[in-house]
Amino acid sequence: MRAVFYEQFGVVPVVAAVPDPTPSPTGLVVKVEATGLCRSDWHGWMGHDPDIKLPHVPGHELAGTVAAVGRDVKRWKVGDRVTVPFVSGCGACGECAAGHQHICDNQVQPGFTMWGSFAEFVALEHADLNVVRLPDAMAFGTAAALGCRFVTSFSAVIDKGRCAPGEWVAVHGCGGVGLSAIMIAAAMGAQVIAVDLTDEKLALAKALGAAVTINASGGVKVAQAIRDVTGGGAHLSIDALGHAVTAMNSVRSLRKRGRHVQVGLMLAEHARAAMPMDRVISYELEIKGSHGMQAHRYPEMLRMIEAGVLQPEKLVAKHIPLDEAPAALAAMDRFEGTGITIIRP
pLDDT digits (tens, 9 = 90+) for 84-126: 999 999 999 999 999 999 999 999 999 999 999 999 999 999 9
Confidence tier at 83 by pLDDT (50, 70, 90): very high
CA distances from 19 to 3, 31, 65, 250 (A): 9, 14, 19, 45
CATH topology of domain 150-289: Rossmann fold (3.40.50)
130/302 Cα distance (integer angstroms): 15
Neighbours of 222 (CB within 10 A): 21
**Can you give the pLDDT at residue 68?**
98
Query: What is the pLDDT averaged over residues 205-219?
Result: 95
Query: What is the pLDDT averaged over residues 154-170?
Result: 97
Confidence tier at 272 by pLDDT (50, 70, 90): confident
Given a cut of 80, whether residue 237 has pLDDT beyond it is yes
Confidence tier at 265 by pLDDT (50, 70, 90): confident
Instruction: Please determine, looking at this structure, whether the domain spanning 2-148+293-344 carries the CATH number 3.90.180.10.
Output: yes
For the chain, the average pLDDT equals 95
Residue 97 bridge partners (DSSP): none
Q: Where are the domains of the chain?
A: 2-148+293-344, 150-289
**Above pLDDT 90, what percent of the chain?**
91
Nearest Cα residue to 240 out of 150, 327, 343: 150
Torsion (CA) 135, 139, 145, 151 in degrees, nearest 10 = -10
270/282 Cα distance (integer angstroms): 25
Query: What is the pLDDT averaged over residues 141-153?
Result: 93
193/172 Cα distance (integer angstroms): 8
